[in-house]
Structure 1
């Protein structure tokens, strides 16, 4: 398996993050009820974007990690592969995550006349949970009980990072029986009614993504290619139908609700399966696909940034209105456009100045650690 970028996976990332952004409009960007949003949320919910992210993560990570660890022949080689994976993930994820945790904490102190960023106490606790990777457990504990803080979306990041920490060990432990271990993990969760605690440790979508990646390395995988999606009308219709079905399943109108999360995980895996062939089976090649791919490539930053961006827009509008100044941004459409522009700007800056440089540093460190000491230049040969 190679690490080549799959355009349809980027499209799925865009759909996932746009769904989360839409879900958080009411309550994060708009403090007062917006009738149109409330009407839409009654019929369609888009929080399933998080589960789609999980399925994508499992697939993308496992494509290279599973064969690398299952193929290692010595304990030292297994350790090196695991260490390199952890280092790449750390450099990829932690700098941006910690930056925005710090900025939200500062905003809580210096840009919070409206109270949009929440209380100092809640945000300090939330920041600690985000840095120490237990945000999902704090989120479950706070559910309908107390204020979490502005960084509540970090619960899913904590779950993914716990997965990244433990998954290599799971591969080494089960080796060739990994498929059966993952199938058991999926089956148990699908058949279990989710409590708040089980909601924040849900790994069925992650495991399904891993299983897809392992299947994609087998010859029979190509025989199941959904060629019936080749016509543009078929792929667009199927994509919209699956997205609408997921949005319906995420509402209280879905009568199979006790098994909602497992059903959403399975359908998310179906989308990743379609995307995995890299044949534009979701969206035809063109301007729309390129736009979605751009959003997908910045989706991590967008996910981190959208809540503080929403809250900052609320704070600015509050200050303008408190000063008696005319504020066209007070209209819901203008407010939304302003928030979207801010998210685009900040996510692009984050991508160029934080994500890519730190990702490259991580790759360089892994490469340097894998180079024998005899091949490294001596200190005296380096220029100042």
Structure 2
């Protein structure tokens, strides 16, 4: 199965956008915001919406891996016998670093108001997006991971039922999310109640894009650039402007990235491999910066120096986490699962 390295690079850039251009504004006094240049100001206002690009990329890659010609499964997108393999692969990919950052936050930030035993239990069970206050307990950005888990479950159950069932699940997820935003969506954001609809819309729209990839490949790059600009510029008034981002801007970014050789280069692949670590590690580090430095009044060069120091620290820790936690834990979990299954005599091997 060919790896979509260019989308890995895109995911790395999106993680950096959330961590280094959106959340870093928390390091500075509120009166320091608002005078930034156009692009920087956009990231301060809308950088949180890059999480929706994560969802879109995940859906596209999942379809590529599990629905592609070489995915196997005896005629079904994800045969019932492979559901356990799927679950173990997802657990090995997501849980070890999530658990490590959760325990760190519990130990260091235990006195924070939202860090209750109930919230800790929700994080342990990957349900943190469904306990209040969302994004303000322990490692806040991890709310999106629990939303992705819901998408994984729906995808796996739908795929195990066959292509028709998966198409029905995809349609219901997308339509349900659109109805939510059309009826309940509010301007600005991010809003707590939008978490699950955001995940469902992005993840399953990514799968639709994969199915339509041949036709989309014929779309001119100029048109994609226009769609990107349109999605970024469209103001929905009292409604959520997240919709044009998810429906126009981010699909255009994904398709343009697939056409850009640089996105699959070694530096971008390095960044993509560490994107999960960047996303999970940056908030605990930012909170430590806040405790040490307080609320900084600096502008211009001061901001650049602080953000550069913060980004460098996160990248170093993300690299360490990838090499010392993510990769070893993933191998250990999969090997342990294979040994246990071999001992039971099933004889199957994990495809992922």
Match of 1:193 in 2: 183
How many pairs does the alignment contain?
Answer: 328
Question: 8 Å contact 1:16–1:53 — kept in the other structure?
Answer: yes
Question: 8 Å contact 2:227–2:252 — kept in the other structure?
Answer: no
Q: In 2, Cα distance between the equivalents of 1:33 and 1:101? A: 32
SS of the residue corresponding to residue 45 of structure 1 reads helix
Match of 1:132 in 2: 125
Query: CA separation of 1:318/1:263 partners in 2, compared to 1, >3 Å: closer, same or farther?
Result: closer
Given the alignment, which residue of 20, 28, 31 partners 1:30?
28
Q: In 2, Cα distance between the equivalents of 1:84 and 1:12? A: 27
Match of 2:93 in 1: 92
Match of 2:262 in 1: 285
Give me the TM-score of the superposition, normalised by structure 2: 0.78
Question: 8 Å contact 2:9–2:272 — kept in the other structure?
Answer: yes
Give 1:331 shift. Answer: 3.3
Q: In 1, Cα distance between the equivalents of 2:108 and 2:195? A: 27
Any residues of structure 2 matched to 1:365-384 within 5 Å, and which? Answer: 365=336, 367-368=338-339, 371=342
Match of 1:263 in 2: 244
Match of 1:167 in 2: 155
Give 1:315 shift. Answer: 2.0
Match of 1:379 in 2: none
5+ long unaligned stretches in structure 1: 110-117, 322-326, 377-384
Give me the TM-score of the superposition, normalised by structure 1: 0.72
Question: 8 Å contact 2:262–2:268 — kept in the other structure?
Answer: no
Larger-Rg structure: 1
Match of 1:112 in 2: none
Q: In 2, Cα distance between the equivalents of 1:168 and 1:162? A: 10
Any residues of structure 2 matched to 1:99-110 within 5 Å, and which? Answer: 99-109=100-110
Match of 2:133 in 1: 142
Given the alignment, which residue of 295, 299, 309 partners 2:285?
309
Any residues of structure 2 matched to 1:310-349 within 5 Å, and which? Answer: 310-318=286-294, 331-349=302-320
Name the Cα RMSD after superposition.
3.6
Match of 1:48 in 2: 49
CA displacement 1:65-85 (0-9 Å, x = unmatched)? 2468994479xx934300000
5+ long unaligned stretches in structure 2: 186-190, 348-352
CA displacement 1:133-188 (0-9 Å, x = unmatched)? 221122xx437xxx923422121111001222232112234632432441343133
Match of 1:16 in 2: 14
Match of 1:324 in 2: none
Given the alignment, which residue of 271, 274, 279 partners 1:295?
271
SS of the residue corresponding to residue 5 of structure 1 reads coil
